[in-house]
Chain A
Amino acid sequence: MSDHVSEFLSNSRAVPHLGAEPADWIALLKPRVVSLVVFTGAIGLLIAPGHINPLMAAIAIFCIALGAGAAGAINMWYDRDIDAIMRRTTSRPIPAGKISAAGALGFGIVLSVVSVLLLAMATNLCAAGVLAFSIFYYAVIYTIWLKRRTPQNIVIGGGAGAFPAVIGWAAVTGHIGLLPMVLFFIVFFWTPPHFWSLALYASTDYEKAGVPMLPVVKGARHTRWNVFIYTLILFPLALSPWFMGLAGAIYGLTALVLGGAFIYYAWGVLRDDQDEKGVSLSKDAPARAAFKFSILYLFLLFAACAVDRLV
């Protein structure tokens, strides 16, 4: 039996099973991911033309959060074997032995159903349908199908995180418009440079777990180029709502400045010195900085979109 398995056993089995704390169930919902999803979903609601009862809007945001959390719980259920191996994820509730695998799956399925039903009741079938599809997309298409099969996993999987703005818009209007679709593609093309920046300095973890992330399969240099190219693609895409007349100057100028800054950070990732094995000589400082900035980028870009609409 390998060291990893022994470690997994010692972590999760040989402890008095006193039951999970409420915080463990909340951890299963990936609260940090949910916070970004709630934000983009709320922006989708705010920028949509039309009126929605404030109580229904609050319930819609709650449902988006619940659905995203449910998908996260199903993800943790399926990934429990690799979570036990990767240092970043060993303390998650299932590998830590706090919550059983079956319990996590049941929790995720129940919350998925509840979130979709409540959203259908509170808003409309279009929003509920997109929410249901986004849960399926993350839990099945990304987690089960793509993640362990292709180094392009997060390129296609990035769609999962791009749905909330569409759901928010659909909750108000009952259909899917052009602006939320553009926002969808902005998040879609933002995901690869965001996630590959992280993967650059966590690649040994992914390699250990056998997840074919781009730095593991193609190497660090290839990944650095991809981070840079996707950031270049993102630049005109983020400006497109301004060019198309869907957003005003506040958004346009913000996208311009943020896009330029993101390209600067991606350039830093590309220019980072590495040895012949692809190990960064700066301990991946540019990749860490790019990862942190990418989160700020999305928050500020979406906030500017909302401010632009409301002013």
Chain B
Amino acid sequence: MSRAMARKLDEMPRVELTESHWSDEQKAEFLRRRRARNFLLLAALGGFCLIVYVIALVKLHEYGQMW
């Protein structure tokens, strides 16, 4: 498949079912996945802040300054 074809596929609308067509199970699955993604994002942001905080503490402790 050429890259032009790949680009065309990217631009094509997904043949997906809209929420109104979803069964109860699909709705529940969608909500579960969205919740999991949001928690993952929250954990990633929290982890990033924690790492920056730890780096700052260690650098301040070792050298009395960040750089």
Binding site for B on A (CB under 8 A): 2, 4-5, 8-9, 12-22, 25, 53, 55-56, 59, 62, 80-82, 84-85, 97, 100-102, 114, 118, 121-122
> A-facing mask of B34-50, CB < 8 A → 1, else 0?
10110010000000100
Are the CB atoms of B62 and A53 closer together than 8 Å?
A: yes
Residues 12-67 of B contacting A (Cβ, < 8 Å): 12, 14-17, 22, 26, 29-30, 33-34, 36-37, 40, 48, 51-52, 54-55, 58-59, 62, 66
Are the CB atoms of A19 and B34 closer together than 8 Å?
A: yes
- Listed by A's residue number, 17 A-B pairs whose Cβ atoms lie within 8 Å are A13-B15, A13-B16, A14-B15, A16-B17, A17-B14, A18-B30, A19-B34, A19-B37, A20-B33, A21-B33, A22-B37, A53-B62, A59-B54, A81-B9, A118-B52, A121-B52, A121-B59
Residues of B within 8 A of A18 (CB): 26, 29-30, 33
Are the CB atoms of A81 and B34 closer together than 8 Å?
A: no
Are the CB atoms of A82 and B1 closer together than 8 Å?
A: yes
Secondary structure of the B side of the interface? helix
B58 to chain A: closest CB distance in Å?
5
By Cβ-Cβ distance, the 7 closest A-B pairs, closest first, are: A81-B6, A19-B33, A17-B16, A16-B17, A14-B15, A18-B30, A13-B15
Are the CB atoms of B1 and A5 closer together than 8 Å?
A: yes
A114 CB contact (under 8 Å) in B3, B30, B40, B48: B48
Are the CB atoms of B1 and A4 closer together than 8 Å?
A: yes
Nearest CB in chain A to that of B54: its residue: A55
Residues of B within 8 A of A80 (CB): 6
B1 CB contact (under 8 Å) in A22, A85, A100: A85
A164 to chain B: closest CB distance in Å?
19
Nearest CB in chain A to that of B21: its residue: A16
Residues of B within 8 A of A102 (CB): 10
Residues of B within 8 A of A56 (CB): 55, 58
A205 to chain B: closest CB distance in Å?
14
Are the CB atoms of B55 and A19 closer together than 8 Å?
A: no
Are the CB atoms of A118 and B55 closer together than 8 Å?
A: yes
A84 CB contact (under 8 Å) in B1, B33, B40, B52: B1
